[in-house]
Structure 1
Amino acid sequence: MAKAHDITGVAAPLPINNLDTDQIMPKQFLLGIDKTGLARGLLYDLRFDSEGRARDRFVLNQDAYRDAKILIGGANFGCGSSREHAVWGLQQAGFEAVIAPSYGEIFYFNAANNRLLLVVLPPDQIEALVREIEHGENKPLTIDVDGQVVHSPSGQRYAFDLPARQKQMLVEGLDMIGMTLRDADAIDAFEQRHWAANPWSRIDLPAQRARMAQREAQER
């Protein structure tokens, strides 16, 4: 996976408090059995009217923000149900980060596990960022992941905290599996100790499969 030492791009203002995952990814887009095609459903009921026509005044339908990589949200962003599709939809639509005063807890950890950066800034700083970008001047904003600083288009700097695990995943280009495999030796050592102390708990999968195959052959 790509390493993310910094994220630079146009930021779109969407300062709606309590924007829940049902709004971020409506239920009608959860019918697939894989992760594909979710960009179309992102914020669908806000982007389109009941006839499927684009709402011209909605921020992501405006030319200045169509290619935005960063979303500036309101408080309690991503509250509601635990659907991971909300994170996948944001990523498939090109978003690499969200900046907001606070997040729904499950959404926050879903985002961290999928390498979608969530930045927490105080409400007054969020308001200042929104004022800078809401006029659609298309000026980029930069999030320095290493330094944990947001650089606004006008040059303002806003520091933020980032859990060490999430930062490592972003900077080193690791997903959850990659993070786990970093501890492969320790996991293997634990398994060996456990099986040595509890040999009865170890399952010989090849032997078990062979016994099952033999049993099925006998029953035919």
Structure 2
Amino acid sequence: MDPITNITGKVVALPLENIDTDQIIPAKWLKVTDKSGLGDGLFETWRYNADGSPNPDFVLNKPEAQGASILVAGKNFGSGSSREHAPWSLQAYGFKAVIAPAFADIFRGNSLKIGLLPVIVDEETFHQLVSLCEEDPTTEVSIDLAQQSLSLPGGQQVSFPIDGFSKHCLLNGVDQLGFIMQQESDIVAYEARNPVLINTQA
């Protein structure tokens, strides 16, 4: 996982509430074991017509949305099942962050584990971002993870929450296993100091 410090990119808005994981990535894609290609399944039932042709009315298929790396979505994004394929597909498509007023807890946790940054903003900021995207499809924003700050066009800055452990892992480009491995010397030293306790528990 690459470290995340700052993310600057074009924004695309899908301002629907309660977008669930089945809408993000249909169940038929759960059979794959390789993350590559999952971007093709992102919002599949919305992106494509019954004959497989792109739906020109869906926002991601519009020419002005091409190259967007930050998704703005309505509250309770990622509800439904706990499938990890949902954040995988968003990341595979090219999104680096999702901005929403609220996320489903499991989806948010799965996203943080793979380096897809979920940014929680207030309703006013959400509606402002949607309006900006409607007025100018080339709208870009910047996210500073260290400062936990979202910068909008014009210089307005909005703070967002993130727990300290997830922030540390993202800034340093390590997953949970990587974090534990970083503590190897401390773990070895603890075991050396407590051999009886370690053997008893084993």
SS in 1 for 2:135: coil
* 1:115, distance to aligned residue in structure 2 (A): 1.4
SS in 2 for 1:9: strand
Give, in whole Å, the separation in 1 of the partners of 2:37 and 2:69: 18
Give, in whole Å, the separation in 2 of the partners of 1:158 and 1:201: 48
Aligned to 1:82: 82
Give, in whole Å, the separation in 1 of the partners of 2:200 and 2:146: 47
Aligned to 2:159: 159
Letter in 2 for 1:155: G
Computing the radius of gyration from Cα coordinates, the structure with the larger value is 1
Q: What TM-score do the two structures reach when normalised by structure 2?
A: 0.92
Aligned to 1:215: none
Unaligned runs of 5+ in 1: 203-220
Contact 2:8–2:140 (CA under 8 A) maintained in structure 1: yes
Q: What TM-score do the two structures reach when normalised by structure 1?
A: 0.85
SS in 2 for 1:134: helix
Aligned to 1:137: 137
Give, in whole Å, the separation in 2 of the partners of 1:131 and 1:201: 58
Contact 1:12–1:134 (CA under 8 A) maintained in structure 2: no
Aligned to 1:115: 115
Aligned to 1:45: 45
SS in 2 for 1:40: helix
Please, which moves more after superposition, 62-71 or 187-196?
187-196
Please, which moves more after superposition, 133-142 or 47-56?
133-142
Contact 2:8–2:142 (CA under 8 A) maintained in structure 1: yes
Contact 2:42–2:93 (CA under 8 A) maintained in structure 1: yes
- Aligned residues: CA RMSD: 1.8
* 1:191, distance to aligned residue in structure 2 (A): 4.2
Aligned to 1:214: none
SS in 2 for 1:178: helix
Give, in whole Å, the separation in 2 of the partners of 1:38 and 1:194: 46
Aligned to 2:67: 67
Q: In percent, how many aligned pairs have the same letter?
A: 37
Contact 1:3–1:172 (CA under 8 A) maintained in structure 2: yes
**Could you say if the C-alpha distance between residues 34 and 140 of structure 1 is closer, same or farther in structure 2, counting changes exceeding 3 Å?**
same
Contact 2:4–2:115 (CA under 8 A) maintained in structure 1: no
Measured against aligned partners, the alpha-carbon deviations of 1:159-190 in whole angstroms (never above 9, x if no partner) come to 11221112112222222222112221233344
Letter in 2 for 1:114: I
**Could you say if the C-alpha distance between residues 141 and 177 of structure 1 is closer, same or farther in structure 2, counting changes exceeding 3 Å?**
same
* 1:112, distance to aligned residue in structure 2 (A): 1.1
User: Which structure 2 residues correspond to residues 13-32 of structure 1 after superposition, within 5 A?
Assistant: 13-32=13-32
Unaligned runs of 5+ in 2: none
